């Protein structure tokens, strides 16, 4: 793997400093279409409480806030630099700087969860998904976007240990047999996947 791709991969995993801010700007451009598609799949309703999980610089927050109306929108990221930028750009939202496996929110407190371009960093996805199910209300929805393994390999990032490569089969295995998986064109010749999972009103795990 060439040094430039390795540096980019590390910054994508946990952006920081000047390089992180530059990567954050590039992410806003590259992620615009896939994030819009994932938000559409999330089907946010007026009055919903929504968590943007792995929110980065907060690019999805405005669209989520508009869709939720009087509902509350939250953002979480494990990069402090990204959270600082998101807060400046979206003063009306509530943001958390926290690890993906420890969401500082009460049980069953949100109706919708968006997780766009962040699943690559869930190298052990079970504790992450367990936390997402904990904070998601019964009847709520999770929407996850990820670029395919093949597309990531073409960028050179796929050779980095920072990124987990996901095929459609991997994605389905991660989200469980009841999840709906759709392949999409994410722009710039990139293929992506959107997985949606509706939490049962009675049961709470992805496998149920």
CA distances from 37 to 63, 67, 170 (A): 12, 14, 20
pLDDT tens for 24-57 read 555 555 568 889 999 999 999 999 999 999 999 9
Q: What angle do CA 10, 13, 16 make, to 5 degrees?
A: 75
pLDDT tens for 109-127 read 999 999 999 999 998 999 9
Contact 15, 57 (CB under 8 A): no
pLDDT tens for 70-81 read 999 999 999 999
What are the start-end ranges of the H helices in 106-195? 125-135, 149-155, 168-175
| Percent of the chain clearing pLDDT 90 (strictly above) | 68
Q: State the pLDDT confidence band at 11, using cuts at 50, 70 and 90.
A: very low
Strand ranges in the chain using DSSP code E only, listed in sequence order: 50-53, 73-77, 94-97, 110-116, 136-147, 180-187, 190-198
Q: What is the pLDDT of residue 1?
A: 52
Minimal CA–CA distance to 119: which of 204, 193, 176? 193
More confident residue, 155 or 195: 195
Under 8 Å CB-to-CB from 54, ≥6 apart: which residues? Answer: 76, 77, 78, 100, 115, 116, 117, 118, 121
Minimal CA–CA distance to 157: which of 168, 146, 172? 146
Q: What is the pLDDT of residue 14?
A: 57
| Percent of the chain clearing pLDDT 70 (strictly above) | 80
Minimal CA–CA distance to 5: which of 145, 161, 148, 122? 161
Q: Quote the CA–CA distance of 166 and 148 in Å, as a whole number.
A: 6
């Amino acid at each position: 793997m060439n040094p430039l791709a390795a540096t980019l991969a590390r910054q994508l995993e946990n952006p920081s400093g000047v390089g992180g801010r530059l990567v954050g700007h590039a992410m806003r451009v590259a992620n615009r279409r896939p994030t819009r598609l994932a938000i559409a799949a999330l089907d946010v309703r007026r009055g919903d409480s929504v968590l943007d999980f792995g929110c980065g610089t907060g690019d999805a927050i405005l669209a989520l806030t508009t869709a939720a109306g009087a509902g509350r929108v939250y953002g979480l990221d494990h990069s402090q630099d990204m959270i600082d930028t998101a807060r400046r750009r979206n003063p009306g939202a509530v943001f958390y700087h926290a690890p993906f496996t420890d969401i500082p929110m009460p049980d069953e407190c949100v109706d919708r969860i968006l997780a766009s371009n962040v699943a690559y960093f869930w190298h052990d996805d079970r504790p992450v998904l367990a936390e997402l199910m904990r904070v998601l209300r019964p009847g709520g929805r999770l929407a996850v976007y990820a670029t395919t393994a093949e597309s990531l390999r073409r960028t050179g990032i796929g050779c980095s240990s920072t990124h987990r490569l996901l095929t459609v089969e991997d994605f389905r295995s991660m989200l469980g047999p009841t999840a709906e998986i759709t392949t999409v064109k994410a722009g710039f010749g990139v293929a992506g996947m959107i997985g949606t999972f509706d939490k049962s009103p009675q049961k709470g795990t992805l496998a149920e």
